[in-house]
Structure formats: structure tokens, C-alpha cells
Chain A
Amino acid sequence: MENNAPETTTKNSMLKNTLLIAKFEIKKMLFNPRGLIALIAFALVWLLILLYPISGASSFLINPDFRGIIEGVFGPNTLSELFKWPVAELAVYWIAALYIFPLFSIFVSADQFATDKARGTFRFLSLRVGRDSLFFGRFIGHMALQCLLLALTVIATILLAITRDMSLLLPAISSGLIVTMNLMIVLLPYTALMAILSLYANSARQATIYAILVWAAMSISIAIINNYLPIISELKWALPGAQISLMINTQGLQTFMYAPVALIQAAVLLFLGKMYINRSAL
């Protein structure tokens, strides 16, 4: 390695190392017994969700009487978009995934840094890669893994739909892509916030507890602020997942309406995380 590496070389090796860290992170999670057990647990949970709520509820969704009941209970326009999904299975999957995946993300990405930092493993890495590469590499690795699992569940839902009606293949694929993209965007700020909490915590469990505290404290504070100072009620958008309840009643490309919220949140959180890792002791 040259003493005074040109700027481009440094940047290239930073990008290369970021991707190497991301790749290793995926390998680490998929190809070791603990990772495999987590994966099997995840697959089983989703198998149950697919077999019962999704497969069962979609048959209700197609039924016009059920639509009448839902509109009667929640109001005519609250869940109206749900019935516009061309594939009923994906409509139910959409609701389930919007709530389950963020929760799953909190657990899966809680150990982006905590354990390695506590046992000093980063000390072996930080003399070989920059802290930025380490931070973004781990983040990308955890996002990639979640996207992989997300894609698998979407494919399983599509398969479920086409076993009912083969003609749904094309609309299912296009809706599936929209759902996957949307959920990936939804997960970005969750994973970014967990990266920061994981850097601060000494274990994955501690990071998860911090996450619960952060969400609870922020929700309560936002509710209080909304009550007393409605003028700054827009502060609610600062909390990752603030847009989820509104996303339920969207469909097709309309689902991307709230994507900027998650993207901005993720960008801010990643910037804060980058600053934090560069200032923290390893």
C-alpha cells in the first residue's frame, strides 16, 4: 500500500471495504448456527402468517359482504384503498408486513455493533478499515439481509396468490415489487436508529431496550407537544414509523407517497451515526 495513496484510491478502497464488511455481515448471519436458527424461526412465523391470516383473510377481502362490514366498522374511506389491491393476498400481506417488519428490524439489527464493541473485536477491524466503512458496511449488511428476507416473504405471498388464480401472476409481481420497495424504504430509518443504539449499548438486548425506551419516550413527548403546542405538531414525523398507519390505506404507486419521510429520517440518522462512530471509543 502506498504511503500517500491518491484520493481516488482511498475512496475506492473505502467503498470496497464497505461492501466487504456488508458481505461478511450477511455471511456471518446466514452461515452460522445461531443465524440459521433465527432464520428458521423467521420462516416458521411467516409460514403461519401466510397460511392463516393472509390466505384466510384474502378470501374475506374478495367477498363484497365483508367489504360492507369493514366500511361499516372503520368508516367508508378508512380502508377503502385496501380493496383496490389487484391481489388480495398482497393487500393483507401489506398490512401485516407494515407492522411486523419494523418490529422484526428492531430485533434483527440490534446487534450491528454492540457485541463486537463490547468484546473489542472492532479493535482488530479499525486498523484495517475506516470507521465510516465499518458503520455503513454493517448498516448495508443488515439492510441487505432484511431485504432478502422481505423478498422471500413477498415471493411466498405471490406463490400463494397464483395457486389460487394463475392469472394473478403479473399483477402479483408488479404489486410485489411495489410492496418490497416500499417496505425496504420503511425499514431504512429503523435500521439506522438501531445502528446508533447498538453503538451506544453493550449488548443486543440493551440496544433493544433502548429502542423501546426511545419509541415510548418520543411517542409520549410528541403526544404532549401535540396537546400543548399544536403549532409544532409536525414533530411527529421525526419518529421512525410515524407514517405507517397512514400507509395502510394506500395502494399501487400511491404507496410511495410517504417514502420521503422514511428517506429523510434515514439520511439524518445515518449522518448522526457516522458522527457518533467517529467520535466514540472502540
Chain B
Amino acid sequence: MNLVNCKGLSKSYGDKKALNQVDITLHAGSPIALVGPNGAGKTTLFSLLCGYIAPSAGEVNLLGHKPGSPELLGRIASLPQDATLDPNLDVLTQLSFFATLQGYSDKNAKAEAMRVLNLVDLASSAKQKPSSLSHGMAKRVAIAQALMGTPELVLLDEPTAGLDPANAKKIRELVKSLSTNTTFIISSHNLDELEKLCDQVLYLEHGQLRQSVSMNESQHDDYITLTMQHCEPSALIEAVLNLADISSIEERQSNQFLIKHNSAEVYGIEIALLNLFKQRNWQYKALLKGRTLEEKLFS
């Protein structure tokens, strides 16, 4: 059974088409990324998948059911953008209540709430009211609630936006560790983060699905992305072009070069590059097989 199936999915707000004829089929497995510029329709797509809003046209199915169906209750969770908990009740009370709605007994609900708060390192804030939490802490509590009861699908809308780097890293590690039992769909502007986490990337623009990129495929690309510490770009380009099996080299960003090759033996190219750096005493920062997600999406 497909995890997510959208056919001709459209959503309009007045004259504006937030989503226009989107067809998506997703399978359970590794985390899936949803990227796109502001106003591309990412949050609208999330809201449609969660059943918060109804589509203007088209169909959407999750695990074989329409969003909002009783069969999906408790099996899908989400970190909605801009949604906040009740500021008058403490975090533990609210999370325990969510757990009781998912079928936990009162005692087990408390334990489940504490378990997910522990996952996001906020067990010590369980008795605090949401209004006394910082933006980042509130976001982590919202992520915690999405992990209750081990749902089959979790939609995270910009999970690390507003988090400090250490906590953002913890959330990434958490998502990775939980992705054996749960499929995550993550919307984010942080392409590096998505590259580390996701196998599949959906690119939305102007309400339409422009690309669906598999990160695994990129391993077989005939590309190498080279990032140098510092060097003379023209000298590097000239030297690399003189190596065997190199089709082209372009400087894409400051000190970052995209090399296209036509060799089936990638290690040969890599060894040749490393030898070249040794000879010229050039320091490299990173050598990436394939292209970066940014390159794949925007070049």
C-alpha cells in the first residue's frame, strides 16, 4: 500500500492557486524531503495531507484512507507550522491528554508524554506552561507530541527552523533513529540538513511539483563536487581539465567546483585529484561524490 497518494491535487484561496494539479506517490521508508521557495505550497500540501483543509480539486489518500478518516487517527502525526499549545495548561497535562486520546490509560499516558519529552531533552520542562518556554523549546515540545504512540507517518513542517545548532542536530539524529518504524516527511529550507536525512526530495514551486529527486541516484551521477580551502580557481580548473576522463569543471560558488567526468572508475578520478593537491600543495575541504542537493535542484 502506498503511504501517500495524491492525484490532481489542487487548492485555491480565492484566485490564488496554492497547489495546482499535484500528483505524488510516496512509499514508506526513509525520510522524504519537501522543499521549495516561500509560498510554493509546502504548508498547504501538509495541511491537505493532515486533513486540516479540504482540497479544491483532486484526491488525496494516506495509507489507503482519506485524511481525517477515523482509520487514520493516531497513525499520522504532525508538527504543524505556527500551531501552539494551550498557554494555560502545563506541557505534561496537555501531552498526557493527547496520549489518552490515542488510547493510553491515564497512567501510561503520563509515561508516554515523559518518554517523548525525554526524546527532545525537555523532561525537566514537563511542568512548565507553554507560555514560559522559549521559541525553540516550544518547537521541541511540538515535535515531541508528534512522536507519541509511534505513528506510521509524521509530517514535520520546518522542524529545525528557530532551533539552535545543537538542538537542530539532536532533532536530526532523532528523526534518523526513529525512521526505521516511522516515515517522516520533512519540509525545510535547510538543504544540507535534508541531504543528510532524506533519500527522496520533492521540489514544489508555484504550487506545482517540479522535481522528485532521489538522493541514492545521485551516488551514481558522473559528478564530483569539490570544495577547496583556498586556491587559485583558474589554476585549479586548468590542472583538473588536464587530468584523464574529465569532461568539464565549473566554479559554482566561491571555492566550490563541480567536476563532470566520464569514467566508470570514480576512485581513479579521486586518486588523481588527491595526487594533484599533494603536488601543488593545495588544501581541500570536501570531496563529494555526485552533486549537492542545491545543485541538483537549482542548476
B89 touches A130 (CB 8 A): no
Among A3-11, A144-152, A157-165, the stretch in contact with B: A3-11
B89 touches A32 (CB 8 A): yes
What residues of chain B lie closer than 8 Å to A126, measured between beta carbons? 50-52, 68
Among B78-86, B235-243, B251-259, the stretch in contact with A: B78-86
Bound CA span A281–B89, Å:
25
A124 touches B83 (CB 8 A): yes
Q: How big is chain A's contact interface, by range?
A: 20 to 34
Q: List 22 interface pairs A-B (beta carbons < 8 Å), by A numbering.
A: A1-B73, A10-B70, A13-B70, A20-B101, A28-B86, A28-B89, A33-B88, A119-B84, A120-B82, A120-B83, A121-B83, A121-B85, A123-B50, A123-B52, A124-B80, A125-B101, A127-B73, A128-B73, A129-B73, A129-B101, A130-B68, A281-B53
Name A128's contact: one of B86, B89, B102 (CB within 8 Å). Answer: B102
Whether a CB of chain B sits under 8 angstroms from the CB of A235 is no
Whether a CB of chain A sits under 8 angstroms from the CB of B193 is no
Bound CA span A281–B75, Å:
21
A127 touches B77 (CB 8 A): yes
Name A116's contact: one of B63, B86, B97, B142 (CB within 8 Å). Answer: B86
Bound CA span A120–B80, Å:
8
B120 CB, nearest partner CB in chain A, Å = 15
A70 CB, nearest partner CB in chain B, Å = 47
Bound CA span A227–B134, Å:
60
What residues of chain A lie closer than 8 Å to B73, measured between beta carbons? 1, 13, 127-130
What's the dominant secondary structure at chain B's contact region?
Answer: loop
A43 CB, nearest partner CB in chain B, Å = 20
Whether a CB of chain B sits under 8 angstroms from the CB of A131 is yes
**A5 (CB) vs chain B CBs: closest residue:** B71
Bound CA span A10–B47, Å:
24
Name B68's contact: one of A4, A116, A131 (CB within 8 Å). Answer: A131
Bound CA span A13–B74, Å:
12
A128 touches B101 (CB 8 A): yes
A128 touches B98 (CB 8 A): yes
**A17 (CB) vs chain B CBs: closest residue:** B101
Bound CA span A3–B97, Å:
23
